[in-house]
Amino acid sequence: MEDGFCICIVGLGLMGGSLALALRASDDDRSAAGLWPRESAASAWRSARIVAVTRNQQALAAARTANAIDDGSGDLAEGVSAADVIVLATPVRTIVRMLAEVGQHARPGALVLDLGSTKSAVCAAMAGLPDGLQPVGGHPMCGKETAGFAAAEAGLFRNRPFVLCPLPRTQPCALQRAESLARAVGGRPIVLDPATHDRAVAGISHLPYALAVALVRTVEAAADPVAWSLASSGFRDTSRLAASDADMMLDILFTNREAVVGWLDACTGQLAMVRDALAAGDDTTLRACLAGAQTRRAGLTV
């Protein structure tokens, strides 16, 4: 990468913060921490200047202290205007809203990447960017139920799929640059179209979240103090996603509404099958149901 190459990260939460930390980790740091294999792409990205755009002064100060960024700004136009790569790492509906302003101020040729959890709405908005810009939708398949720069870590993307959704107009060299960035932070780039991505993550991410929310709300509504006192690792893990940031999740659900509703209906059907077999005392059906799920889940490697 040429001298003075500049990355602008908009949003310094878990995703944006972790990206900055991962780009900045020295080869020795990575090697010593066993974070991910040394790769030539990583050191090239490491020399880039990183500018963060956020109104969160606490996150800015923490990121400076961690040496994760070179500069910070509360002004989107100022931040993106000098950048070769712009990474939008805010909640999804904020990304969609910001794209028009990004388009007005980004320099021609800049790669515009986002880290939002749904891709159809973002890629549709990216299609409205001026011709000279190079849009790529992005979604690193990792996360925690804790949010903010305080939760960020350099190893967040390590060995995780990093979905990339180029637009028809995106030049091959821009997609290659996005893939190089994904690898530099330890991820495994996977190119998908936005609809395929959104349908898949609705099933393996947004549906589990909705189930966790329903579970917590059900136990809460029962107002049974004995139940809470007996909660163990099973309840803890099944309900974990319910602690996710509600504002972030609201954006995700509303920008993937059709797919999520479809999966919710399918899952409600499966739940009804379990319920009805149990209520009817149908040992054979219920056994087949549970045994099939056991085999499938035991074979999962994540």
State the CB neighbour count (10 A cutoff) for residue 287: 11
Residue 118 as a binder of a second copy (CB under 8 A): the answer is no
Stretch that binds a second copy, among 5-13, 69-77, 171-179, 255-263 (CB under 8 A): 255-263
Q: Which residues, 181 to 240, sit near a second copy by CB under 8 A?
A: 190, 192, 196-197, 199-201, 203-205, 207-222, 224, 226-240
CB of 185 to a second copy, least distance (A): 16
Yes or no: say if 99 and 125 are a contact pair by the CB < 8 Å rule: yes
Yes or no: say if 71 and 6 are a contact pair by the CB < 8 Å rule: no
Of 29, 75, 101, 283, the one binding a second copy by CB under 8 A: 283
Residue 253 as a binder of a second copy (CB under 8 A): the answer is yes
Residue 302 as a binder of a second copy (CB under 8 A): the answer is yes
Residue 120 as a binder of a second copy (CB under 8 A): the answer is no
- Sign (positive or negative) of CA dihedral 176, 181, 184, 189: negative
Nearer to a second copy, 60 or 210 (CB): 210
Q: Which residues, 137 to 156, sit near a second copy by CB under 8 A?
A: 141-145
Yes or no: say if 24 and 68 are a contact pair by the CB < 8 Å rule: yes
Q: Which two tokens stand for residue 240?
A: 């974990």
Size of the site for a second copy (CB under 8 A): 92
Nearer to a second copy, 131 or 296 (CB): 296
CB of 110 to a second copy, least distance (A): 28
CA dist 36 and 21 (Å) reads 14
Nearer to a second copy, 56 or 161 (CB): 161
Of the CA atoms within 13 Å of residue 254, those in its CB half-sphere come to: 11
Yes or no: say if 13 and 93 are a contact pair by the CB < 8 Å rule: no
Q: Which residues, 43 to 72, sit near a second copy by CB under 8 A?
A: none
CA dist 25 and 155 (Å) reads 9
Nearer to a second copy, 87 or 212 (CB): 212
Nearer to a second copy, 44 or 190 (CB): 190
Per-residue buried b or exposed e for 131-159, using 16+ beta carbons within 10 Å of the residue's own CB: eebbbbbbbbbbbeeebebeebebbbbbe
Cross-sheet strand order for the sheet of 6-10: 71-73, 49-53, 6-10, 85-88, 111-114, 134-140, 161-166, 188-191
Residue 160 as a binder of a second copy (CB under 8 A): the answer is yes
Stretch that binds a second copy, among 4-12, 129-137, 179-187, 264-272 (CB under 8 A): 264-272
CB of 210 to a second copy, least distance (A): 5
Residue 300 as a binder of a second copy (CB under 8 A): the answer is yes
- Please, where are the H alpha helices in 141-206? 172-184, 194-201
Q: Which residues, 1 to 20, sit near a second copy by CB under 8 A?
A: none
Of 1, 66, 82, 286, the one binding a second copy by CB under 8 A: 286
Nearer to a second copy, 49 or 199 (CB): 199
Residue 25 as a binder of a second copy (CB under 8 A): the answer is no
